[in-house]
Amino acid sequence: MKVFADQLPGALAKRLPRAVIVSGDEPLQHRDACDEVRAAARQAGVEEREVLDIEPNFAWGRLFEVAGNLSLFATRKLIEVRLGRHKLGQEGAKALAEYAERLAHGDDILLLSTGKLDARQQKSAWFKALDKQGLFVPVWPIDASRLGFWLRDRAQRHGLQLELDAARLLGERTEGNLLAADQALQKLALILPPHARVNLESIAQGVEDSTRFDVFNLADACLKGEIARTSRIVYGLKSEGTEAPVVLWALGREMRTLLSLHQHLEQGQSFEHACKAQKPMIFDRRRPAYQQAIRRLPMRRLHKLLLMAQRLDLAVKGASPVPLWQGLHDLAITLAGGRGPLAETAWTYRIH
């Protein structure tokens, strides 16, 4: 049964399942979900814990050895299988499916910790067998539009009353890094009295800028048409020393993907089919962003943006006088639906 991370404590309070799959790449929420399972197991009297870290060529028979080992001190154990981003493989898939059947007749608890599981993996025999025995907890990154509200609620865990404006500023300073945001809240909880109200000034003065941008943040912001965020990310990448060719590659990749989507749509294919035809395939969660960008950017405009990217590529190689980072900023802003000054003045062509 699927249970989202914020619903997990309530689900565990009702019953301790035989198996819990925690899946996702956001480290703070992933860690919290696993901690909730461990705490619920201890509360239920499960005193022994075994941890299996899955590496390449892992011997899956080890899982059954651990499960079969009798303890002198406990009758039940929590077995953690930490798969991470490693591929399960046929042997692992078979072992988990078989072990799921054993769980139905035993007392142990399985906690499977893994990276994001796609739709195909969620239809596999091993997944269905484990899901039948318990809970599936998908962990999603927090969208920028929800980050302030999420941090405001998170502050309550640390005994703080965080004003919404302060939460939004904290979100800007820790964008894409929830661990850094949580650490900032912990520090504030240490220096402020219990249940203190934290305002905008407290965040501005007391929290270092811990923003960590990457080109994937930039690509998402461009696709969603988030012009102000796009601008902030570009300058954040520059200040962090990101190489300009990497930024140009990320923007170029998105433009080529959008052109390919347009071509499939012009051939009469559905948007869903067009997304599946991309390599790599565009997964369900990112499709709304691409759909927004397709509506905003016709093929003619995308072709001109690619010409703009070619000029920037020449600038990278020292063969064009165009100011590189200002050009990257203009390219990203225009892709997001805005207009950069260089695109209007310094280029030998205009974007209409």
**How many CB atoms lie under 10 A from the CB of residue 197?**
11
In percent, how much of the chain has pLDDT > 70? 92
Topology given in CATH for the domain delimited by 215-344: Zinc Finger, Delta Prime; domain 3 (1.20.272)
User: Given strand 19-24, what is the order of strands in its sheet?
Assistant: 48-53, 77-84, 109-114, 19-24, 134-139
Average pLDDT, the chain: 86
How high is the pLDDT of residue 346?
37
Domains 5-139 and 144-206 share a fold: no
Cα 92 from Cα 89, distance rounded (Å): 5
14: tokens are: 């009702």
Domain segments of the chain: what residues? 5-139, 144-206, 215-344
Cα 211 from Cα 232, distance rounded (Å): 10
- pLDDT tens-digit profile of 65-117? 888 776 555 578 899 999 988 888 899 999 999 999 888 777 889 999 999 99
Question: Domain 144-206 - what CATH class?
Answer: mainly alpha
Half-sphere exposure of 145 (CA within 13 A, CB side): 5
Handedness of CA 158, 47, 66, 110 (dihedral sign): negative
- pLDDT tens-digit profile of 32-48? 999 999 999 999 988 88
Q: What is the DSSP string of 116-151?
A: ---TTGGGSHHHHHHHHHEEEEEE-PPPHHHHHHHH
End-to-end CA distance of the chain: 50
Cα 205 from Cα 95, distance rounded (Å): 53
**How many CB atoms lie under 10 A from the CB of residue 138?**
17
CATH number of 5-139: 3.40.50.300
How high is the pLDDT of residue 352?
36
Cα 185 from Cα 167, distance rounded (Å): 10
Whether 187 and 203 have beta carbons less than 8 Å apart is answered as no
Q: What is the DSSP string of 8-64?
A: HHHHHHH---SEEEEEES-HHHHHHHHHHHHHHHHHTT--EEEEEE--TT--THHHH
Question: Residue 175 pLDDT more than 70?
Answer: no
